[in-house]
Structure 1
Amino acid sequence: MKNLKSIILGLALLITCGTVNAGTKTEGENLTKNYAINTYVDAMTRGKLSGLDEVLDRSVKFSMLRGKNMLSFNKKEMLNYLKKTGNVEQACTTSTRIVESNADLALIRVDMKFENFVRSNYLTVANTGNGWKITNVYSVFK
C-alpha cells in the first residue's frame, strides 16, 4: 500500500512538472517580424516600452540625421532616454510600409507625421537565430 501511494504521488508530481514546463516559452519564440515592428512603433508613438528591450539586438545602432548633423546612439543610451520620456503619446499619425523583406532580413519604413514635420524611421529587422530583432534604426526629419 505504501508503494502504491508513493507511485501515485510520484506520477502526480511528474504530471504537475510537465504541465508547468509545457507553458514555458523558449527565448525568441515570440520574436516575430511583426512583433518587433509593432513593439518599436508602440514605444516611439505611445511611450509603451514593454518588450522593447527584447526586440532590440544587443548591437543595435540608432542614427538620426538632423539638418546636417548625424547623431548616433547605442541600445543602452536609447533605452535610458525612452525610460525618462516614457508613457508620452506623440501627437502624430503613424504609418508603416515594408520596403524589402525576405526570410532573413526586412527593411521597414515607419513615418510619424506631426503637424509641421515628418520623422521617417528606417528599421532593419533581422532573423538573428533568437527571433527577429531590430539591428539598425535610421531616422530622418523632413
Structure 2
Amino acid sequence: MKTLTIKTILLAFVAIVGFSSLTKADDLKDRNIQYSVNSFVNKIKTGKSADLASILSEDVKFNMSRNGKIMTHGKKEELDFNKKNANVIQQCKVETATLVNTENYSLVKVSSIYEGFTREDFVTLIKTKNDWKITDVTTNFK
C-alpha cells in the first residue's frame, strides 16, 4: 500500500512537471513582451525605472515630434532623464494596445491620457536571444 501511494505521488509529480513544460511558445513570448511593456508603462506612470536599462536595446531611439520638429535621443539620454525624474507620478490614465505581434516583432501603442491632451508612444520591440528589447519609441501628442 505504501509503495502504491509513493508511486501515485511520483506519477502525479511527473504529470504536473510534464504538463507545465508544455507551455506554448506564444505564451512565453507574450509574457516577455508584456514584461517589457509593463516596465515601460511603469516608468511613465510612476517614474520607477529600475528595469528600464534592461528592456532597452543599446541602439534604441526615442523620437518626439514637437512644433514641426523631430527631436531624437538614445538610451543614455533617456536613462539620465529618468534618473533626474525618478518617482515622479504622472496624473494620467495609461492604456496599451498591441498593433502588430509576430514571432520576432511587436508594435505597441501606449497612450497616456491627461486632462486636455493625449501622449501616444508607439513602442517597437524586437526579440533577442532571451527576451524582448525596445528598439524604438516614437511619441506623438494629440
TM range (shorter): 0.7 to 0.9
- Cα distance, 1:67 vs. partner? 2.5
Of all paired residues, the percent bearing the same amino acid is: 34
Structure having the larger proportion of residues in helix: 2
Matches of 1:79 and 1:130, distance apart in 2: 22
TM-score, structure 2 as length reference: 0.76
1:40 aligns with 2:37: no
Q: Where in structure 1 are there 5+ consecutive unaligned residues?
A: 1-30
Q: Paired residue for 1:18?
A: none
TM-score, structure 1 as length reference: 0.76
Computing the radius of gyration from Cα coordinates, the structure with the larger value is 1
Q: Secondary structure at the match of 1:49?
A: coil
Aligned pairs, how many? 112
Q: How does 1:21-40 map to 2 (within 5 A)?
A: 32-40=32-40
- Cα distance, 1:130 vs. partner? 3.5
Q: Paired residue for 1:103?
A: 103
Matches of 1:100 and 1:115, distance apart in 2: 28
Q: Paired residue for 2:24?
A: none
Q: How does 1:28-107 map to 2 (within 5 A)?
A: 32-107=32-107
Deviations 1:74-128 (A, max 9, x none): 0000110111011001010110000000110000000001112100000001101
Q: Secondary structure at the match of 2:80?
A: helix
Q: RMSD of the alignment, in Å? A: 1.1
Q: Paired residue for 1:115?
A: 115
Which has the bigger relative contact order, CA under 8 A and spacing at least 6? 1
